[in-house]
Amino acid sequence: MNTLDSLRFSLKSENLAHQVTCLACDSSSVQLISSCEIKGLTIFETSLCEACAHVYRSIKPNEIWFNEQFAVRHQKQLEAGISPISEAIEIERLERYGAIGLAMKKASPKMGTYLDVGCGPGTGFKAFEELGIVCTGVEPDTSRSSIAKKNGYDVQEVEFQHFKSEQTYDVISMVHSLEHFQDPLDLLIRAKSFAHEGTLLYIEVPEVLDHVQDWNDSLYLAHMSNFNEHSLKILASRAGWGKGRVIKTYENTGLHEGHLCMVFQLEQNTSPERPNAKVLSELKSEIQNRYALGLPSENAHPHVFELPFLNDLSLGFKGSSELKMKVHDNYAQRHLILKEKSRFVISESD
Ligand SMILES: [Zn+2]
């Protein structure tokens, strides 16, 4: 048992944020999938948009709370001598950015400058520099940005809303960052300040049906959004990014291909195609099915999960201190019992 095992992240109603309309398309026609309670207080809620099948958290801890808890965790990690960086994850990150760099070079052969929003420890820059590209990064997490700076990379340790630059970039990327943001629209609007007419915006996020395997995602604190191709297109278009297209970044690389990878360009008066009714309805019912998988049947949405406490800022509640590398492997360690119809109690595995 290490120092981090005893961490508990406490939460009051004033620490919560409410998102009433769809985070992607702003529709108010949404349905509740699930909620999580601690001692009777709903701290996390998952909703599905009727209009675009976007999945988002309609109740969640607010950004101030998350930032405070990240600082607490960082301090505990320092005290325990635990590195926030996993070598295995960074090796994979380098491979992934290698593939992204090649895909961007193909899409924009003259690419010379690159801005990565949420660059982590800057591992991906190695891959871009090998292609002769000048890299800039934004990373608010000190434990990661300090490593990037130590390695000589041009990284600003700020939230993207406070990033400053006099120049525009040929490619701007958000690689597995947009799904974490409470206000992704604001982020995409902000990105336009650093774009020129030919800038390519590369967005990579988990794809909802690839990522959501069962009910456990209802507890996944780290993701504010689970995107599908249509909801990402609609969100981007509201920010003024059009010409959206899916690209197969990881085809033939041996890396996981299930993520949603899309490229956008600035466009005035964007209006994305809405998915046709049949596609939308099939997608919504598959998403509903996914969130019920693993639960005893005959328990309709919305599901309520009663948690004892929060002990992990990504997983929400982990049932064991033994942390697995893959998110889905951690889920198996939770213990779930049916309390009454559609209401479940979650506890630690014994
Ligand atoms: Zn929507």
Average pLDDT over residues 86-97: 90
Q: What is the pLDDT of residue 1?
A: 46
CA-based nearest residue to 33, from 13, 17, 54: 54
**Could you tell me the sign of the dihedral formed by the alpha carbons of 325, 310, 74, 70, in that order?**
positive
Q: What is the pLDDT of residue 332?
A: 61
Domain boundaries, the chain: 3-83+276-348, 87-266
pLDDT(45) > 80: yes
pLDDT(331) > 80: no
- Complete edge-to-edge strand list for the sheet that includes strand 154-156: 154-156, 134-138, 113-117, 169-175, 195-205, 260-266, 241-246
Side-chain half-sphere of 321: how many Cα atoms within 13 Å? 8
Span from the CA of 51 to the centroid of ligand 1 (angstroms): 5
User: Is the full-model pTM beyond 0.85?
Assistant: yes
Residues 6+ apart with CB under 8 A from 343: 303, 304, 306
Rounded to a whole number of angstroms, the CA Rg of the chain reads 20
CA-based nearest residue to 346, from 290, 303, 285, 288: 303
Are 109 and 169 in contact by the 8 Å Cβ rule? The answer is no
pLDDT(324) > 70: no
Percentage of the residues of the chain whose pLDDT score is greater than 90? 78
Span from the CA of 27 to the centroid of ligand 1 (angstroms): 5
pLDDT tens string 189-236 = 999 999 999 999 999 999 999 999 999 999 999 999 999 999 999 999
Residue 221, classed as helix, strand or coil, is coil
Q: What is the pLDDT of residue 298?
A: 80
Q: Please provide the DSSP assignment of 69-117 as one string.
A: HHHHHHHHHHHHT--S--HHHHHHHHHHHHHHHHHHHHH-TT--EEEEE
Span from the CA of 31 to the centroid of ligand 1 (angstroms): 11
Span from the CA of 22 to the centroid of ligand 1 (angstroms): 5
- How many whole angstroms separate alpha carbon 280 and alpha carbon 287? 11
Span from the CA of 278 to the centroid of ligand 1 (angstroms): 16
Span from the CA of 157 to the centroid of ligand 1 (angstroms): 32
Residues 6+ apart with CB under 8 A from 291: 33, 34, 46, 212, 214, 215, 217, 218, 301, 303
pLDDT tens string 150-189 = 999 999 999 999 999 999 999 999 999 999 999 999 999 9
Span from the CA of 25 to the centroid of ligand 1 (angstroms): 4
Q: Please provide the DSSP assignment of 143-204 as one string.
A: HHHHHHHHTT-EEE-S-GGG---SS-EEEEEEES-GGG-S-HHHHHHHHGGGEEEEEEEEEE
Helices 184-191, 229-238: inter-axial angle, 10-degree rounding: 60
Span from the CA of 281 to the centroid of ligand 1 (angstroms): 13
Span from the CA of 47 to the centroid of ligand 1 (angstroms): 10
Q: Sorting pLDDT into bands at 50, 70 and 90, what band is 143?
A: confident
CATH of 87-266 among 3.40.50.150, 3.40.50.11600, 3.40.50.10190, 3.40.50.620? 3.40.50.150
- How many whole angstroms separate alpha carbon 259 and alpha carbon 206? 5
pLDDT tens string 261-287 = 999 999 988 888 888 999 999 999 999
Span from the CA of 78 to the centroid of ligand 1 (angstroms): 41
Span from the CA of 29 to the centroid of ligand 1 (angstroms): 8
